[in-house]
Amino acid sequence: MSRLRCTLLSLGLLISGALQAAVPDQQAVATAHPFATDAAHQILDQGGNAFDAAIAAAATLAVVEPQGSGLGGGGFFLLRLQQDDGVDYRFLDARETAPLAAHRDMYRDADGKVSRSASLNGPLAAGIPGLPAALVHLAERYGELPLAASLASAIEAAEKGFQVSDRYRTLGGFRLDAMRADTETARIYLRDGELPAEGTLIKQPELAATLRALAQHGHDGFYAGQTAQRLVEAVRGAGGIWQQADLDAYQVVEREPVRWHSQGHQIISAPLPSAGGIALAGILQGLESLPETERGSVQRTHYLVELMRRVYRDRTALLGDADQVEVPVARLVSADYAKTLADSISADRATPSSELGAPRAFNEGTNTTHFSLIDRHGNAVAATLSVNLPFGAAFTVPGTGVLLNNEMDDFAADPAGSNAYGLAGSEANAIAPGKRPLSSMTPTMLENDQQLAVLGTPGGSRIISMVLLGSLEAIEGQPVEQWVSRPRFHHQYLPDHIQVEDDAFSPAERAALERLGHRIKPVGRDYGDMQAVNWDKRNGELSAASDPRGEGKALARRALKAD
């Protein structure tokens, strides 16, 4: 064979490889429940794209994971659109909103004290749901299939039922009293006032009917008509403050994601009202301004903890719904600002949080869900959804199957106090009509010419640090299974200690950190439920992983050609 022919053949193979790498020609899904993973793959096999699959996954999780998400909740969707002329990213804010009758002192009693129970349990704790609007928005703006097709698996799961798992029972145990207090919640999710045994079938025919109305009528199937009437009447009848005007006003907001370049990747993450993207930008860019350290070293951990401390302090003091409060976002996500954070860190001493400003502490709900997926065209979705605490407000609207969120607790009900997750409150996150509460939900993508990483997790205030640690694993070329399984540690400014999983540090590492002045407090359990997918553009392969701490399912496989 001539040298010219060899050269041409080699060039042809290179061009062919480049074309093959341009789209994965595979599909990958990782969700917190096998039903949802299977539903997403089924939609992809039918010719749907990533956004149709996201509807199927989100709706199915809303049925089979009532402890973490639901039609009565909301969330964030980070989208990657593979287009002929390049790649675009979109962010859908489907966060719940405060009712129009809400006000900053709505949880204070006659003595001026904040009632935590009212912001956690029952309909007064519920914001206006965003997930139903998001499902319709995805179908109308981005999907290829009818909404009814994408909701079919969720409707089937609601009718035929799902089996109670150990995770359901564990999380339900934290909310058992509140669940018992509501007749409809107890009827559906308990048995004789107790948590059902593992394997018990939970059927939700009323929720199936609500999903059918959404499939048939779109936005009006939830926010108008009979469903809306039932929602408003039940909430008001039980002491809540919803009005039809709240449902009429609700809209998904498309926002510009937070983007920056760091560690050889473009990083795309959640903007306000999520604190996640801003915090990640500060930590990852701040790390680049500090002396280089070895992966997994005590010095690296020290630097990460000190950066966490500082970005969480900013969260408490500065961040809120940017539609209603002035937030210096451009400055907070800049490399220059990250360098000022890094410059304030001592290499050999932990900074007491009290030295960074007046201590304030606040709350955020722990139970949420996340899924990540990529379709054969290279479209991708990272979505984090929530009802806040497990089983939300533990209030289910009769005739609808809709279990309401208790996201109002994510506001600073007492701007000088704290919320259910120990996160500090601030004026920027005070309750106001129509406002969206600050969140830590952080769906994130990292991309360069070698990979696309898609990840996220539930976990309340610890979400940001989990996504940080997973992102560092991706940046450092570790397999996707390592992103979701690595031991975790966390610092959130207040309380002033490092929260750790039991196996996060060896005795020697713990002793070394304590010599630097860090206090370490084991959480006493594993936490998080990360779902991640990766596209290795060098060989065109997709991989997916589901956190071994949870009960999810991850599957990457060759796409069935449906188009």
CA 442 to chain centre: 5
Whether residue 529 has pLDDT greater than 60: yes
- Global pTM reads 0.93
Q: Distance between CA atoms of 531 and 384, rounded to whole angstroms? A: 10
Better-predicted residue by pLDDT, 533 or 2: 533
Q: Which residue range is the domain that position 168 belongs to?
A: 56-76+86-254+373-429
C-alpha gyration radius of the chain = 23
- Supply the DSSP symbol for 264: T
Query: What is the band of 563 on the pLDDT scale with cuts at 50, 70, 90?
Result: low
When pLDDT is averaged across residues 11-33 and rounded to a whole number, the result is: 66
d(CA 305, CA 497): 10
Nearest to 483 by CA among 491, 473, 475, 496: 473
- Which residue type is seen at 426? S
Min mean pLDDT across 151-160, 228-237, 386-395, 415-424 is at 415-424
4 assigned to some structural domain: no
Q: Specify the pairing of strand 541-546 against strand 531-536.
A: antiparallel
Determine, yes or no, domain membership for 81.
no
Q: Per-residue pLDDT averaged across 370-384, rounded? A: 98
Confidence band of 320 (pLDDT split at 50, 70, 90) = confident
H-type helices in 23-128, by residue range? 34-45, 50-64, 116-120
Q: What is the pLDDT of residue 426?
A: 64
> Which helix or strand (DSSP H or E) is residue 18 part of?
helix 3-22
In the block, residue with structure tokens 């970005």: 311
Q: Is the pLDDT of residue 9 over 90?
A: no
Positions at the binding site for L-glutamate: 95, 386-388, 410, 439-440, 460
- CA gap 93, 95 in Å, rounded: 6
Position 225 in a domain: yes
Catalytic residue among 31, 60, 227, 368: 368
Residue 519 in domain: no
Average pLDDT over residues 343-361: 86
For residues 534 and 543, the answer to whether their CB atoms sit within 8 Å is: yes
End-to-end C-alpha distance for the chain, whole angstroms: 39
Is residue 562 in some structural domain?
A: no
* 3-state percent helix, strand, coil for the chain, nearest multiple of 5: 40, 20, 40
Residue 32 to residue 370: CA distance in whole angstroms: 7
Q: Helices (DSSP H) in 218-344: which residue ranges?
A: 220-223, 225-237, 244-249, 276-289, 298-318, 329-332, 335-343
Instruction: For residue 384, give the H/E element and its range.
Output: strand 380-388
Query: How many domains in the chain?
Result: 1
- pLDDT of 114: 85
Residue 417 has pLDDT above 70, yes or no: no
Pick the residue with more confidence: 1 or 73?
73
pLDDT of residue 142: 98
Residue 177's pLDDT is what?
98
Percentage of the residues of the chain whose pLDDT score is greater than 90: 84
pLDDT at residue 7 tops 60: no
- Which residue shows structure tokens 């489907």? 94
Q: Give dist(CA 337, CA 66) in Å, integer.
A: 40
What single-letter amino acid sits at 54?
A
> Residue 445's beta-bridge partner residues?
268, 454
Could you tell me if residue 503 is inside a domain? no
- pLDDT over 50 at 393, yes or no: yes
Distance of CA 410 to the CA centre of its chain: 14
Instruction: Say if residue 12's pLDDT is above 50.
Output: no
Q: Which residues contact 205 (CB under 8 A, 6 or more apart)?
A: 158, 159, 401
The reply to whether 93 falls in a domain is yes
Active site residue 60: no
Backbone angles phi, psi at 335, to 5 degrees: -65, -35
Distance between CA atoms of 452 and 378, rounded to whole angstroms? 9
Name the token pair of 65. Answer: 């994971």
When the pLDDT of each residue in the chain is averaged and rounded to a whole number, the result is 92
Tell me if residue 158 falls in helix, strand or coil.
helix
Q: Mean of the pLDDT values across residues 321-335?
A: 88
Q: pLDDT (tens digit, 9 = 90+) per residue, 185-202?
A: 999 999 999 999 999 999
Give the per-residue pLDDT at 18: 35
Tokens of 208: 């199936």
Tell me phi and psi for residue 394, to 5 degrees.
Answer: 55, 35
Q: Is the pLDDT of residue 93 over 80?
A: yes
Average pLDDT over residues 49-64: 98
Given pLDDT bands bounded at 50, 70 and 90, which one contains residue 414? low
User: What mean pLDDT is predicted for residues 118-123?
Assistant: 95
In whole angstroms, give the CA distance from residue 209 to residue 397: 13
Identify whether 368 is part of a domain.
Answer: no
Residues making up the binding site: 95, 386-388, 410, 439-440, 460
Cis ω for the linkage preceding 273 (within 30 of 0): yes
Name beta bridge partners: 45.
none
> What angle (nearest 5°) sits at the alpha carbon of residue 532, between those of residues 531 and 536?
165
